[in-house]
Structure 1
Amino acid sequence: MDSENKGLYITGWILFVIVLIAFLLGEVFSISLSSITAPCLIHSLFGLYCPGCGGTRAVMSLMKGEILQSFIYHPVVPYTAAIYMIYMVTNTIQLVSKGKIKIGMKYKDIYLWIALFIIILNCFIKNIVYIGWGIRIIK
């Protein structure tokens, strides 16, 4: 594993531990992620969806195992989770096998470009549906 991927891999495990601790603390103390985040300024001022609208609810749904609901709230969240899981699993297999099984996913900028495209498309579709037909996809 080269140094760039090694750094990403270690960061992935740190992120996993942080998310796990946050999830466990939320479960033990009944803290909702939405109760500790600020309201969306764009939505509050203009009534439109911002590029991140639904992200917090998508994370909460995904943490409950509600993948479809997470996708509806914000599709970039399950996309990111899938890329993260594939990256971590394949690189763990490669590391545990001491390089004998070379399946470790490598970082590529295209993953970020796809995420950006999903964010823009999601914002565009939700606002078009709201402006054109008055339908709020997420409330």
Structure 2
Amino acid sequence: MDHAPNAPHPPAVPPPTTPPYEPGGSYGPYASAGSYGPRAPYEVPQSASRVRRLLTPLATLAGIAAAFTYVGLVDPNESGHYPPCPLYSLTGLYCPGCGGLRGAHALAHGDPLTALGDNALAFAGYAVFAVVWVIWVVRAGKGLPLRITQRPLWWWTLGTVLVVFSVLRNLPFGAWLAP
């Protein structure tokens, strides 16, 4: 059907009354009535069972416990069980991780002072992990995600601490930091 050049055009389609579909939005079995917009991809649905929500932190703890058990049973102070540190083997300098296995072995045997002396930075890392893990379990039990976002300044600070620790433990006045 042709329109005359001066004939009115057909009426425009009225605008939709509902919000448009958004990829990744709150649609499907977990959407509540009237909720539109994106849902965070790491959000745990409230309908998930508590055991299911705690599965990841508990599996992480099981892996860490298995690693500590192995290091506790196989003494890193005896040569031949673990590969040597490549930096120490080539240069004679301690890297930030040197002494970490010996510290984990001491900690697995209930000797935190020796662990602290073997690698103070690794010892602090174990403590930080323990605190974050407890927070993770509590939040997972409540159905809340663990959100750890760090600004670039935090990562630069961590890198600086690792470099300063490495330099200090290789200098004569920082020998108390060496394993």
Does TM, scored on the shorter chain, surpass 0.5? yes
Q: Distance in 2 between matches of 1:71 and 1:3?
A: 39
Unpaired runs of 5+ in structure 2? 1-39, 45-53
Aligned equivalent of 1:45, options 65, 90, 108: 90
Q: Distance in 2 between matches of 1:76 and 1:60?
A: 15
Equivalence for 1:108: 149
Equivalence for 1:83: 128
Question: What TM-score comes out, normalization by structure 1 length?
Answer: 0.64
AA matched with 2:164: L
SS at match of 2:171: helix
Q: Distance in 2 between matches of 1:18 and 1:87?
A: 16
% same residue:
19
SS at match of 2:166: helix
Bigger helix fraction? 1
| Deviation of the 1:76 alpha carbon | 2.3
Q: Structure 1 residues 48 and 69 mapped into 2: Cα distance closer, same or farther (>3 Å)?
A: same
Unpaired runs of 5+ in structure 1? none
Q: Structure 1 residues 98 and 107 mapped into 2: Cα distance closer, same or farther (>3 Å)?
A: closer
* Mapping for residues 1-139 of structure 1, pairs under 5 Å: 3-4=41-42, 12-24=57-69, 30-33=73-76, 35-98=80-143, 106-109=147-150, 113-129=156-172, 138=178
AA matched with 1:109: Q
Q: Structure 1 residues 82 and 25 mapped into 2: Cα distance closer, same or farther (>3 Å)?
A: closer
Q: Structure 1 residues 136 and 123 mapped into 2: Cα distance closer, same or farther (>3 Å)?
A: same
User: CA RMSD of the aligned region, Å?
Assistant: 3.4
Q: Which has the larger radius of gyration?
A: 2
